[in-house]
Amino acid sequence: MVFSSLLFLFIFLPCVLLIYYLTPSKCRNLTLFIASLLFYAWGEPVYVLLMLFSILVNYSHGLLIDKYSEKKEIARYFLLSSILFNVGMLIFFKYVDFFILSFNNLMGTSIDALGFPLPIGISFYTFQSMSYTIDVYRHEIPVQRNIITFGTYVSLFPQLIAGPIVRYQTIGAQLDSRNETFDSFAEGIRRFLAGLGKKVLLANNIGLLWHQIRLIEPTELTVLTAWLGIIAFTFQIYFDFSGYSDMAIGLGKMFGFTFPENFNYPYISKSITEFWKRWHISLGTWFRKYVYIPLGGNRTGKLNLYRNLLIVWFLTGFWHGASWNYILWGLYFCIIIVLEKAILLKWLCAMPPFIGHLYAGFLIVIGWVLFAFENIYTGRQYLQVMFGLRGTGFYNEQSVYFLYTHALLFLILIVGSTPLLGNTIQKLKCKSMVLYYTTILFLSIAYLVDSIYNPFLYFRF
């Protein structure tokens, strides 16, 4: 699926760009809307109808909320209706089987799961749609009366599959009028290729190591192998997701849009609080604006603050997947952030920066163990191996082989996780920069054609 979609994109994108720039400005949203539906239909031919239905429902609710904006009770009714529709659609397709299976395990029943496949990108476009109707209700944005323009916002193919989550407030003006320039287009190409290289050349290659280690039974692992495996996953998920975000931002620039940044070198953080300001920024912003602040944020006393954090982090974990490990992962970070707000941040600020980096890095890696294993029992076994409580010792020939064959790649990943590489590239002269990005393009295409391992980790979210 992912392999064919990426290759389809290389064929699809030049055609769309050509048609887009040949189209009169007033018709370009229509071109993008049709192209986005075709792109989505390539992977989800049936669920494109679900997306169209979602567009129609949220567009209609926006109009109704605006129409009754002076009658708050009626407007609130339509807002609640739109939220229930979006949340209900998300629950039905993403979580209903989880609830059925959990009920079966708890009550000893044998209710059949529905087994509907998860529509690609549903977690992203439902959140975008909800942000639109909520902001219309709050009078923070004008209602969009052109259904093609609104449909373009919801379905916009560059960021549809895996974000960033783009609020209407961010690009509403750009949907109505945008200035496509040569400089923006060139920057878009560079950003797209940088993301492609992150995903294909870095995430995929280190992901192979994680894939190999994950197939080994935890009881047969050594401490070193277990740590190498989860550190490999730590880099894979970052370069995979941030790579896709870079590709989406680059594609957006090619069409004249400026999407929000989604990552800001999260692995250089000195606390977990800082990490979550740098990781999946658009998701954190969404939960802060539409859940945390409406609940009262930090304005209503410490007990309410901790309650609000608990709700947000429970939802953050659950948003990532219909499995208990994601909920546990969210609550894990909730506990750490509560402790940091209570006391740890004061201590960390008083210590040398490298202590903060070690502290945050260690806790982030432990968190990825909870995230990586949907089977909580297997995840617990893996953690036990990491700390020498299970397994076959500290190291063996296999773990040493994994280490020295991937040492250079780990070094590249470490450097790539910091601003150092990006700052160096910015200083390259024009010819060197062209050579750099051309090399990324050809190596990425060669990898895609030759490799059968090419997952997009955030597709399932």
Residue 143 contacts residue 106 (beta carbons within 8 Å): no
- With b for 16 or more beta-carbon neighbours within 10 A and e for fewer, the 213-241 pattern comes to bbeeebeebbbbbbbbbbbbbbbbbbbbb
Are the C-beta atoms of residues 61 and 82 closer than 8 Å to each other? yes
Structure tokens at 34: 């049709």
Q: Is 357 a catalytic residue?
A: no
| 430 Cβ neighbours under 8 A, 6+ residues apart | none
CA-based nearest residue to 399, from 257, 258, 225, 238: 225
SS (HEC) of 179-227 = CCCHHHHHHHHHHHHHHHHHHHHHHHHHHHHHHHHHCCCHHHCCHHHHH
- CA–CA distance, 197 with 203 (Å, rounded to integer): 9
3-state helix, strand, coil in the chain (%, to 5): 75, 0, 25
Question: CB of 46 within 8 A of CB of 124?
Answer: no
**Which residue from 184, 330, 243, 236 is spatially nearest to 6, judged by alpha carbons?**
243
Catalytic residue, from 61, 320, 357, 406: name it.
320
How many degrees, rounded to 5, is the angle at CA 376 between CA 268 and CA 100?
120
DSSP secondary structure string for all residues of 360-422? HHHHHHHHHHHHH-SSHHHHHHHHHHHTTSSSS-S--HHHHHHHHHHHHHHHHHHHHTSHHHH
Contact 347, 356 (CB under 8 A): no
**Can you say how many angstroms the Cα of residue 21 is from the centroid of all Cα atoms in its chain?**
29
**Tokens representing residue 141 in the block:** 């944005």
Catalytic residues: 320
